[in-house]
A and B are shown apart, each in its own frame.
Chain A
Amino acid sequence: MEFFSAKNVNKVFSNTRALSDVSISVNEQSIFGLLGPNGAGKTTLIRIINQITAPDDGELFLEGRKMRQSDVALIGYLPEERGLYKKMKVGEQAIYLAQLKGMTKKDAVKNLKNWFERFEMVDWWNKKVEELSKGMQQKVQFVTTVVHKPKLLIFDEPFSGFDPINANLLKREILQLRNDGSTIIFSTHNMGSVEELCDHIALINKSVKIVDGPTDEIRQKYKSNIFEIKYKGNFQLVDKALGRNFKILEHTESEKENHLQVQYLNGDSNNDLLQAIMPAAEILSFEEIIPSMNDVFIKAVNESNNQTKNAKNE
């Protein structure tokens, strides 16, 4: 079920294109990864969703209807560059920010108390923000983002400023929020966390969306027929047996087993590879390598950059 979508969004700043005809569709109760190199236009898209910036054209839909200004109450936004009023007390500030999102004071206090207990930060309630460490401030900021139970959560680089332990805690909370019914848009450069968390991704490069789809499918799509084979036998024989259709990328030998990474250049079936090797050696294991999100990211961006370069040269 689609929860949020953006259709053909365009945005031009005085002389740079920030978004060209970008469309995304986010399913309910899913985590959507919005990826892209620095300056690609992610933050602009996020600001448009938050009604901070208006698109030049294009439309946004929430729960099947056009989005309104008042929908900001349904969104929780954790910007990449974030901060709090330094001189204000933590509790007071959290209540104020929750009220700005449309909560009553009573509800705000109730929800905040729960979150503060859960994050073990009850003692901070009457402290000034400037008395807290940076990590503590990030926790407060996270709580103020989710306290009004937003249906749509937008996290821009949520893990920056967190130590590994707190980053893990945050990861758990994000998954929990999704399981409890929130829909999450998640922008980050940390590809490891994308693999762990995102159900679906879109990759934006130079204002254009170049990749869009479920995380698993995309990784499948970007696999380049690379296999990892463990075998017993003579490498020379294997090499000969493989012939021209295969390119050997890596090879190591040890007493117990030999290890081979090979790219299948223009075959139709994985069985061809197996058939080619089988006469030459004993196969211990055979596995196709699925690229990491990191590889997908780099490959997709490079391809897209080369295309635009070629287009320019022609």
Chain B
Amino acid sequence: MNKTILILQQEYLKRVKKKSFIILTLLVPILFVGMFALIIALSVHDDKQERTIAVFDESILFLGELEEEEFTRYHFIPKAEYEQLKSNIRESEFYALLYIPEHIYTSNSAQLISEKQVPIELSEQISRKLSRFLENSKRQKIIEEIGIDDLEERLAGTRTSIKLNTLKVTETGEAKKSSSGVAFVASYAMGFIIYFFVFMYGAMVMRSVMEEKKNRIVEVIISSVKPFQLMSGKIIGTALVGLTQVAIWVLLGVVGIVVAQSFFTPESAQQMSQSLMESRQGMGPNMQQMDSQNQVTEVLELIGNLNIPLILFAFVFYFLAGYLMYSSLLGAVGAAVDNDEDSQQMVFPITFPLILSIMLLFPIARNPEGPVAFWGSIIPFTSPVAMLARVPYGVPAWELLLSMALLILATVGAIWVAAKIYKTGLLMYGKKVSLKELIKWLTYKS
């Protein structure tokens, strides 16, 4: 036992002290934050180009009615100039040419002619301007015809938008607000995280075993410790490296949030999110503010309504069990082969279920109760990813327990198989190992 800890410590320190580990661990959050900052920066200060748009208004409705915006100006031109510009925008001072046909009132369409690809925001802005103007003028006409003074206000009151809140009845009979959107994101994220960690750290174990075998140091080591001690020390040590990485990321995240909070007062944060939303949706500021606030609290509420303790428990359980199962099998592959090519061939059949389980994520997210989701989350080789993707939606207790029990059985089995192969393979050189050979190794007495 003592020696297992010694090996574990050695493996752990060796990896944690590596430059690549430190760089990756620090770089990922920086990249993450950087990417976020970039997206925000891009969307806040997105479009600063000054544009002047030439408008030929055949309908003569809009003359002088198109207000200038921050960076966009409108310049009305007569038909002759329009004809001339139409074929020759590039050399003019205009960015684009807006043609409003005579019958826009009934046709509801206009043309924006330009040399370059017009940004979506600009074209939306223009179409919104035109629509709003026409809508107002139509409404004004009706009000005049009917002769009710406060019709405008009364009509405004009829504007309705139904938000469908999905509620889920828990086992205690309590109805909780749920959101398939939030569950979807959680389910996908968890599936991916498990997949990456199992894959990355499983491969690390395999490479480490192969290195020891290639270096020929392994014979010295197993004359001091039992192969099983070596393997378990390596696997647990590497798992701790993974957990360390996650812990550092969580810590950096918390620190980041605290720092961000002290930097931005609530108002400035609100301002930022406001301007962000505004520039995206181009809505009136008043509606906008209420909306964004509502959205934030609502998302928070929805996240809070996820069964967080269960999800955390499931995450840790399926990560550890899945990692143990796959890394011990990959470790055994590392011991069985003595060159990289052979390892590739043997790794694929082992990791295939893992890759398959990633492909199952989408059907599971679409129908968390369907047969794909059910079998995927029960069969041990796919269950670490598939079950975790289901948990945010809620899983019947018996299914969860069955899946966990099967996974434990499979993990124990995998460790048994791996230990046998590992022990025999470590000192086997110069022989290409076939599957038949591997099966024979399983029958060797210890």
Contact = CB atoms under 8 A, between A and B. Distances in A.
A309 B429 CA distance: 30
Contact of B217 (A56, A75, A82, A99): A82
A149 B220 CA distance: 16
B224 A101 contact: yes
Nearest to B443: A14
Given A54-B446, A72-B223, A82-B220, A96 B427 contact: no
A42 B8 CA distance: 33
Contact of A100 (B211, B224, B440): B224
Contacts of B10: 96
B231 to A, nearest CB: 14
Interface string A79-94: 1011111101000000
Given A75-B223, A77-B223, A81-B219, A99 B6 contact: yes
A23 interface: no
A254 interface: no
Contact of B223 (A51, A88, A141): A51
B225 A100 contact: yes
B14 interface: yes
B223 A83 contact: no
A52 interface: yes
A83 B220 CA distance: 8
A94 B359 CA distance: 47
A266 interface: no
Contact of A52 (B6, B14, B427): B427
B222 interface: yes
A84 B215 contact: yes
A97 B224 contact: yes
A147 to B, nearest CB: 12
B3 interface: yes
Interface string A38-53: 0000000001001110
A86 B215 contact: yes
Interface in B322-358: none
Nearest to A73: B224
Contact of A97 (B220, B429, B440, B445): B220
Could you tell me the dominant secondary structure of chain B's interface residues?
helix
B128 interface: no
A133 interface: no
Given A52-B427, A54-B445, A100-B3, A77 B220 contact: yes
Contacts of B220: 77, 79, 82-83, 97, 141, 144-145
A79 B224 contact: no
Contact of A50 (B3, B7, B223): B223
A31 to B, nearest CB: 20
Given A81-B219, A100-B6, A72 B224 contact: yes
Contacts of A82: 216-217, 219-220
A69 interface: yes
B269 interface: no
A88 B221 CA distance: 15
A123 B302 CA distance: 63
Contacts of A77: 219-220, 223
B226 interface: yes
B217 A69 contact: no
A40 B305 CA distance: 70
A83 B215 contact: yes
A73 B14 CA distance: 24
A83 B215 CA distance: 5
Given A72-B223, A97-B224, A47 B14 contact: no
Nearest to A156: B219
A69 B226 CA distance: 9
Contacts of A69: 226
B360 to A, nearest CB: 39
B387 to A, nearest CB: 38
Given A52-B427, A54-B446, A96-B10, A79 B223 contact: yes
Nearest to A75: B223
A75 B225 CA distance: 12
Contacts of B3: 100
Interface in B207-221: 211-212, 215-217, 219-221
A194 B36 CA distance: 72
Interface string A131-161: 0000000000100110000000000000000
Contacts of B226: 69
Q: B212, B220, B221, B226: which has the most chain A beta carbons within 10 Å?
A: B220
Nearest to B230: A100
Interface in B222-237: 222-226
Q: B212, B217, B223: which has the most chain A beta carbons within 10 Å?
A: B223
Nearest to A101: B224
Nearest to B217: A83
Interface of B: 3, 6-7, 10, 14, 211-212, 215-217, 219-226, 427, 429, 440, 445-446
23 contacts: A52-B222, A52-B223, A54-B446, A72-B223, A72-B224, A77-B220, A77-B223, A79-B220, A79-B223, A81-B216, A82-B216, A82-B217, A82-B219, A83-B220, A84-B215, A85-B211, A85-B212, A97-B220, A97-B224, A100-B6, A100-B7, A100-B224, A101-B224
Interface of A: 14, 47, 50-52, 54, 56, 69, 72-73, 75, 77, 79, 81-86, 88, 96-97, 99-101, 141, 144-145
